């Protein structure tokens, strides 16, 4: 924040439900365990958290907030550097300070900063900042103390000094809100390292913000153990909100967007990335020009195309996109990016707003030569169908009030009918349906009800939306924001592994707000950044929310959610053994006879499009594509597993995991394994569908007894369960 005289720095920290002398909560995987004790004296060589209690920042709850050791640019509020999530389950990045004795005072040094020209707390009449060593006066009064320099106290202010309305730690001469508590670090994990510095935007080059999650730690009670890798991978991001002065920078994209797209490219080999609206906005009222907007589009186009293996990009319009350009230039239509990334569409594959049957809607664009808008479109990318649904342009710099148009929904209904009900189709929109697991405003009526009625007829449809990035992010389980529907329109709330209608899912956000980490959006890097990955296999779809910011919520990686769907995609196997070489016979003349070469199965290339156009037909490799009847390579139906019981079940214990093996059952294409802590399996610890004859279940609890049973599956046939086995860890 800038003062008329100098820069005032807001530096701070949050604690959740701390009681003096009580330990902080245990962090999520990958974080450092720290224990602190409230003290009233300074010790040489010790490290401390410096805390203020009982303050109430505007719009936030009263509580403990700590002194942050990083400079803050722009107009950040105190809560932008919260250290704890709202549940109190996670400890992240507590700033540590040491007190260096200097004649009759102390210098406060940040433990995580090695550059001594920036490592010390400075207080002056202009504010508080990090800089070179400065002597401060520390005065204890019972269990609190003050920090003073030349009459200027380090204190909390809800006016944020010169910034007017932003709360923060600054300097002032008043006694109020200047009493601090000292929390000594008493215990630290042997593997602990100092928390990473808060990232500051880099003008160009590599992202400064690195995700803390380790992709090798992705484990879940519901994870699929399989020899397959995804036949098709989709990445989704939403609500980038380039605004708040970002449009005036040389590099307009936040580093979290650059970092996320880079990680997706490195780790996923995705077929397509979709951006679900609100790329830009003008919430801060700082304005846009056409030149700034064009630069933003060019930069965005580059990072998005670099995120996928073949550069495929899809986008839809949100409720803020038109505001940047208003009526002066077209800031809401992303067909240019998509034409370049995917090729131009035939006129039959999109609906222009000019062609809307409602003249009031059509005239909004017909009468403005600066604005064009596609209300809906249909792309086929690597064999999978995508339908995008856009917010209509409503005139001037207004953004639409969560509406669609009647013509849009008629076009979508006709296009879905043309695609058919057997193929997977991905529907992209900015707004959630009203009864989905959303937390903010949803699609307006009657469009909400009409779109849902259309989609209920399509069992293989997946609706993915953005917009819903206020208040709550995904903390533990991707299923928190996935909504499976039944054909009667009801929401299935019991985490089903199959359903008879469509599924909707939130796409995550590049800019969450109104939470403990980020109370508002700004020109800075949000701490919580999430993107949705959707993996399609031949017989199932897995939804996986992933963290790409420096804060991850309760879990480093939220649990994935899998639901079984016949996608028609060709199975993509990790390894397929080559056939044994045929030994050519030798006749009595001593001449080797040449037998005809018989082609064996070959590995299906990773991420092939593999869409099954003709169920039951053979592909080029000689493998039979999965069809409606699950026919085997001989062309005959597999043996029914109706009366086939799985036998030879064995259990092996090791640490906190149990491995179960069994004999292959005749006619089985896969197996269903249940794990429970109850004999009657009323409450499942884990349910797995697997195409192998072994399964390892991890993260089980010592001292607990677990029960297991298995049955064979073939198509729609389900065999009887095996005898129940049990094991106590």
Residue percentage of the chain with pLDDT more than 90: 32
- Say what the pLDDT of residue 130 is: 81
Rounded to 5°, angle at Cα 629 from 628 and 630: 95
CA distances from 130 to 116, 124, 201, 477, 640 (A): 10, 11, 17, 39, 73
Residue percentage of the chain with pLDDT more than 70: 71
CA distances from 192 to 30, 31, 195, 353 (A): 10, 8, 9, 57
Tell me what the mean pLDDT of segment 688-708 comes to: 86
Span 2-58, pLDDT tens digits: 333 333 233 233 333 332 332 232 333 333 445 667 778 888 888 888 877 666 666
Closest CA to 396 of 375, 421, 370, 435: 370
Span 593-605, pLDDT tens digits: 333 332 322 233 3
Closest CA to 505 of 545, 464, 466, 562: 464
| Number of helical H runs and strand E runs in the chain | 6, 36
Span 486-506, pLDDT tens digits: 999 999 988 999 999 999 999
- Say what the pLDDT of residue 212 is: 35
- Say what the pLDDT of residue 356 is: 95
- Say what the pLDDT of residue 311 is: 93
Tell me what the mean pLDDT of segment 221-236 comes to: 72
- Say what the pLDDT of residue 70 is: 63
Is the CB of residue 717 less than 8 Å from the CB of residue 637? no
372 has a pLDDT exceeding 60: yes
Tell me the pLDDT band of 175, cut-offs 50, 70 and 90.
low
Tokens 């109020």 locate to: 176
Higher pLDDT, 192 or 95: 95
Mean pLDDT highest for which of 21-30, 391-400, 536-545? 536-545
Is the CB of residue 455 less than 8 Å from the CB of residue 413? no
Note the Cα 96 to chain centre separation in Å: 30
Indicate the range of 122-126, 577-581, 664-668 predicted with least confidence: 577-581
Tell me what the mean pLDDT of segment 365-372 comes to: 88
Higher pLDDT, 86 or 638: 638
538 has a pLDDT exceeding 50: yes
190 has a pLDDT exceeding 70: no
Closest CA to 340 of 310, 385, 383: 310
Span 405-441, pLDDT tens digits: 999 999 999 999 999 999 999 999 999 999 998 877 8
355 has a pLDDT exceeding 50: yes
- Distance in angstroms (rounded) separating the CA atoms of residues 364 and 393: 7
Span 609-650, pLDDT tens digits: 333 333 333 232 222 223 333 333 333 333 455 567 888 899
Indicate the range of 310-319, 348-357, 410-419, 564-573 predicted with least confidence: 564-573
Dihedral sign for Cα atoms in the order 227, 216, 202, 315: positive
Is the CB of residue 250 less than 8 Å from the CB of residue 520? no
- Distance in angstroms (rounded) separating the CA atoms of residues 670 and 692: 7
Tell me the pLDDT band of 158, cut-offs 50, 70 and 90.
low
* Residue 601, token pair as written in the block: 């199965």
* Residue 317, token pair as written in the block: 């319009």
223 has a pLDDT exceeding 70: no
Is the CB of residue 694 less than 8 Å from the CB of residue 659? yes
Closest CA to 154 of 40, 36, 53, 11: 11
- Say what the pLDDT of residue 263 is: 92
Closest CA to 140 of 179, 91, 98, 183: 179
- Say what the pLDDT of residue 31 is: 39
Higher pLDDT, 160 or 308: 308
135: preceding bond cis by omega (within 30 degrees): no
β-strands 272-276, 313-316 pairing: parallel
- Say what the pLDDT of residue 58 is: 61
Rounded to 10°, the helix 406-419/447-455 angle is 0
Q: Three-class SS string for 508-531? A: CCCCCECCCCCCCCCCCCCCCCEE
Q: For residue 380, what are the β-bridge partners?
A: 385
Is the CB of residue 155 less than 8 Å from the CB of residue 172? yes
Higher pLDDT, 190 or 351: 351
Q: What is the mean pLDDT of the chain?
A: 75
569 has a pLDDT exceeding 60: yes
Tell me the pLDDT band of 205, cut-offs 50, 70 and 90.
very low
């Amino acid at each position: 924040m800038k003062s008329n005289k100098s820069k005032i720095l807001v530096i701070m920290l949050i604690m959740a439900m701390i009681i003096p002398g009580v330990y902080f909560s245990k962090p999520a995987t990958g974080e450092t365990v720290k224990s602190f004790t409230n003290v009233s004296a300074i010790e040489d060589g010790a490290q401390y958290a410096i805390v203020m209690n009982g303050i109430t920042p505007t719009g936030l709850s009263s509580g403990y907030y700590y002194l942050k050791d990083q400079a803050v640019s722009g107009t950040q509020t105190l809560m932008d550097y919260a250290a704890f999530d709202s549940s109190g389950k996670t400890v992240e990045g507590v700033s540590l300070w040491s007190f260096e004795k200097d004649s009759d005072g102390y210098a406060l040094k940040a433990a995580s900063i090695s550059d001594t020209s920036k490592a010390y707390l400075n207080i002056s009449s202009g504010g508080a900042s990090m800089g070179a060593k400065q002597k401060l006066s520390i005065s204890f009064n019972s269990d609190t103390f003050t920090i003073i320099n030349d009459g200027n106290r380090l204190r909390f202010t809800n006016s944020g000094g010169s910034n007017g309305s932003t709360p923060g730690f600054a300097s002032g001469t008043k006694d109020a809100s200047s009493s601090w508590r000292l929390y000594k670090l008493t215990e630290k994990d042997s593997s602990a390292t100092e928390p990473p510095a808060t990232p500051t935007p880099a003008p160009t080059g590599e992202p400064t913000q690195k995700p803390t999650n380790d992709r090798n730690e992705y484990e879940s009670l519901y994870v699929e153990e399989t020899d397959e890798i995804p036949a098709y991978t989709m990445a989704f991001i939403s609500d980038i909100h380039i605004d708040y002065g970002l449009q005036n920078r040389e590099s307009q994209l936040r580093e979290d967007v650059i970092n996320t797209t880079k990680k997706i490219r490195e780790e996923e080999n995705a077929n397509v990335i979709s951006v679900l609206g609100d790329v830009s906005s003008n919430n801060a009222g700082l304005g846009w020009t056409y030149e700034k907007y064009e630069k933003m589009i060019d930069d965005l186009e580059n990072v998005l195309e670099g995120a996928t293996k073949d550069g495929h990009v899809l986008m839809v319009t949100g409720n803020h996109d038109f505001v940047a350009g208003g009526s002066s230039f077209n800031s809401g239509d992303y067909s240019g990016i998509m034409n370049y990334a995917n090729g131009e569409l035939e006129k039959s594959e999109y609906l222009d707003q000019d062609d809307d049957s409602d003249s009031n809607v059509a005239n909004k664009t017909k009468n403005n030569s600066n604005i064009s808008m596609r209300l809906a479109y249909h792309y086929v990318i690597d064999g999978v169908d995508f339908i995008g649904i856009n917010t209509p342009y409503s005139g001037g710099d207004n953004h639409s009030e969560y509406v669609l148009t009647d013509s849009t929904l008629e076009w979508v209904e006709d296009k879905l009918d043309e695609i058919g009900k057997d193929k997977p189709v991905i529907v992209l929109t900015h707004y959630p349906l009203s009864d989905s697991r959303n937390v903010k405003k949803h699609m307006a009526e009657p469009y909400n009800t009409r779109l849902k009625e259309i989609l209920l007829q399509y069992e293989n449809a997946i609706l993915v939306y953005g917009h819903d990035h206020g208040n709550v992010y995904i903390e533990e389980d991707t299923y928190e924001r996935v909504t499976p529907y039944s054909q009667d329109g009801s929401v299935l709330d019991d985490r089903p592994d199959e359903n008879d209608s469509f599924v909707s899912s939130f796409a995550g956000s590049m800019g969450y707000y109104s939470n403990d980490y980020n109370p508002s959006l700004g020109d800075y890097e949000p701490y919580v950044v999430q993107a949705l990955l959707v993996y399609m296999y031949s017989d199932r779809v897995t939804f996986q929310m992933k963290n790409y910011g420096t804060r991850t919520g309760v879990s480093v990686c939220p649990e994935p959610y899998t639901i079984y769907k016949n996608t028609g995609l060709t199975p993509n196997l990790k390894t397929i053994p080559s056939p044994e070489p045929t030994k050519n016979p030798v006749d009595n003349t001593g001449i080797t006879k040449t037998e005809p070469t018989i082609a064996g199965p070959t590995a299906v290339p990773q991420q092939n499009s593999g869409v099954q156009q003709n169920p039951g037909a053979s592909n080029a490799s000689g493998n039979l594509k999965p069809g409606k009847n699950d026919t085997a390579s001989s062309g005959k139906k597999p043996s029914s597993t109706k009366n086939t019981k799985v036998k030879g079940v064995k259990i092996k214990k090791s640490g906190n995991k149990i491995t179960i093996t069994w004999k292959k059952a005749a006619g089985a294409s896969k197996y269903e394994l249940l794990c429970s802590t109850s004999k009657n399996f009323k409450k499942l610890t884990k349910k797995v569908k697997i195409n192998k004859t072994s399964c390892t279940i991890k993260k089980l609890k010592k001292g607990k007894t677990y029960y297991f049973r298995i049955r064979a599956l073939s198509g729609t046939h389900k065999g009887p369960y095996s005898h129940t086995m049990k094991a106590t860890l």
